[in-house]
Structure 1
Amino acid sequence: MPRSETTAGWITLTTDFGLEDWFVGTMKGVIARIAPKVRVVDLNHGIAPGDVRAGAFSLAAGFRFFPKGAIHIAIVDPGVGSARRALVARTASCLFIGPDNGVLSRVLSQESPIEVRCLENPKWRLNKVSKTFHGRDVFAPAAAHLAAGAPVSDAGPKVDCWAQLDIPTPRSRSHQVQGAVVYVDRYGNAITNIPNEGFLDPERPADVWVGEKRVTKVHEFYQSVAPGKAVCVPGSSGFLEIAVNSGDAAKRLKLKVGSEISVRW
């Protein structure tokens, strides 16, 4: 990708590294040595260790709010050091970098890739590559070289397919939509795969069910109900989310990723 096709100013990081150790800071140091003017933004380092699905959802929820041409690194990589590939994907709006384990599959289903390549250019890696820290040794330097103007075509060979997560899709039937919880945030709010649109029609009030138990209606905001009561709202990620006003819906309603949700009217 010629430099004119990318904004060198932004790199985002989505990882399961947490902030207790040196991992995130070391990646930023590698980037700064290669592309000192780039701005690095922490999108999310609170992904549960090895939770590729949560990493994929978090990246998909956040990337679109950055300037065109930003470079998004996603590292939730339990297969680090194995034969799994390292990828860079170019879309019309940005670049995505990460392991070929499905962590990029949500964004690549939303943003049709123009090209996807393996990261195999040895000049884009640190001299010694650890089998346990590709974030520092492979992904961070590759992103920095791209931010500094290196073309995507120099990354390595093109690939035509990549790992896909089995992402559940909602099913519509007469007077109801069936879906599932796909992410639980730090507040205990359970985000579903049911899009927000169409559930605030006062002429068609919608009930929300967890399994076969009715728990609430779709409301406009959290405090539409009393403290401690369950509520379902159109979430900022674009999907309905189930919450408890001033509480933890995941604990209260025993919700987890995969829990069956339906909206009925």
Structure 2
Amino acid sequence: MMAKRTIALLSDFGLQDVYVGVMKGAIAKINPHLTPIDITHQIPPQNIGAGRFCLMNAVPYFPPDTVYVAVVDPGVGTGRRSVAVSCEWGIFVAPDNGLLGGVLSLCQAQEAVELTNPVYWRSPFPSSTFHGRDIFAPVGAHLASGIPLREVGTEINPQSLITLPISPITRTASTIQGCIQYIDHFGNLITNIRADQVQGKDWAVHLDEQVISTSYTYSDRALGEIVALIGSHGWVELAINGGNAQRQLQLDYGDPVTVVFEQKLPDLSKKPHF
């Protein structure tokens, strides 16, 4: 029996068309003992940043020898590289367009190859529009079946990989300005401000003249009320209890968000009298 490692898939292909099923079929033809796990196929079309965020937040919950096939690839068929990269979290097969940037910001690449060996492709003449089927899924299946990384391509310097860093935050003594880096299915707005940058402090989110106070859960606010909190992903998030924050606040990817640290006034009633 061929080796069997966990193989996980992420794409912007959606579920209406045959693309996801065809990728799984390509995997099964190589090793029918592999059972792909879908991370998501609902990344907004061509949104590399959203794919970056979802992949980065998914990998800590998978076995460390997982093979990931990630395809959000607006440059398919162009000169952009197809790569496979190993780190302590597993092996990642993807276009070199920044999709792996979140993972590589947390997990240092150990080896990287450009996928140049057509022996491990579905065909030596891949489609110019569907590398997910013809290159990424087959290579992922071979790697999950035990083929060494260096056999599937030509070694490259991991430092040459495109990382697509998210917009940097700007800090002052009393504020952090960041932006929206992801919008989930519920319309919750996830910023690029990390939990450890605000925890243990009194803070609120300011959107122009609107001040959004913080809470621990969505339901700590009345239905329809806006709340700022730390989401399960570990980032500052804006949400509406029972509603859609994106729709109500009219914010989108990249829009600015400011956290303001609140100054507590001294309680003069406790000041000693002389």
TM-score bin, normalised by smaller chain: over 0.9
102-111 or 23-32, which deviates more: 102-111
Relative to structure 1, is the Cα distance of residues 200 and 113 closer, same or farther in structure 2, using a 3 angstrom cutoff?
closer
Relative to structure 1, is the Cα distance of residues 177 and 216 closer, same or farther in structure 2, using a 3 angstrom cutoff?
same
The residue that corresponds to 1:117 in the other structure is: 113
Q: Distance in 2 between matches of 1:82 and 1:45?
A: 22
The 5-angstrom pairing of residues 74-85 of structure 1 reads 74-85=70-81
Matched, 1:184 2:180: no
183-192 or 171-180, which deviates more: 171-180
The residue that corresponds to 1:49 in the other structure is: 45
The residue that corresponds to 1:129 in the other structure is: 126
Q: Distance in 2 between matches of 1:215 and 1:39?
A: 47
1:117 Cα shift?
A: 0.6
The residue that corresponds to 1:149 in the other structure is: 146
Matched, 1:246 2:242: yes
1:43 Cα shift?
A: 0.6
Gaps of 5+ in 2: 263-274
TM-score of the aligned structures, taking structure 1 as reference length: 0.92
Q: Is the 8 A contact 1:207 1:216 kept in 2?
A: yes
Q: Which runs of 4+ in 1 moved over 2 A?
A: 169-172, 197-201, 212-215
1:166 Cα shift?
A: 4.0
What is the identity, as a one-letter code, of the residue corresponding to 1:215? V
Which protein shows a greater Rg? 2
1:214 Cα shift?
A: 3.0
What is the identity, as a one-letter code, of the residue corresponding to 1:195? R
Q: Is the 8 A contact 2:204 2:228 kept in 1?
A: no
TM-score of the aligned structures, taking structure 2 as reference length: 0.89
Q: SS where residue 205 of structure 2 aligns?
A: strand
What is the identity, as a one-letter code, of the residue corresponding to 2:189? A
What is the identity, as a one-letter code, of the residue corresponding to 1:138? I
Matched, 1:102 2:83: no
What is the identity, as a one-letter code, of the residue corresponding to 1:101? N
Q: Is the 8 A contact 1:87 1:99 kept in 2?
A: yes
Q: SS where residue 52 of structure 2 aligns?
A: helix
The residue that corresponds to 1:258 in the other structure is: 254
How many residue pairs get aligned? The number is 257
Once the two structures are aligned, what percentage of the paired residues are identical? 37
Gaps of 5+ in 1: none
* CA RMSD between the two structures: 1.6
Q: Distance in 1 between matches of 2:253 and 2:105?
A: 20
1:198 Cα shift?
A: 6.0
